[in-house]
Amino acid sequence: MDVGASCKGHFAAENTEDLLKVVSEHLQTVHKIKLPSRTIMNYVGKKTK
């Protein structure tokens, strides 16, 4: 998934809900975003393929 950010992470999951969990964990651990906002997660969810 390419969300137009400089992060080159690639993620896969069985469904969108699981994918958003994986991305949220990535944002928290790698990018030090303590609690990803609903706006960020909605944007990521819309960009999934």
Instruction: State CA 6 to chain mean position distance.
Output: 13
- Residue 26 confidence (pLDDT): 92
- Residue 4 confidence (pLDDT): 53
The Cα-based distances of 29 to 21, 46, 49 in angstroms read 12, 22, 24
- Residue 1 confidence (pLDDT): 52
**Predicted structure pTM score:** 0.74
- Could you list the pLDDT tens digit for every one of the 49 residues in the chain? 555 567 888 889 999 889 999 999 999 999 898 988 999 888 888 887 6
- Residue 16 confidence (pLDDT): 87
Q: How far apart are CA 23 and CA 45, in angstroms?
A: 10
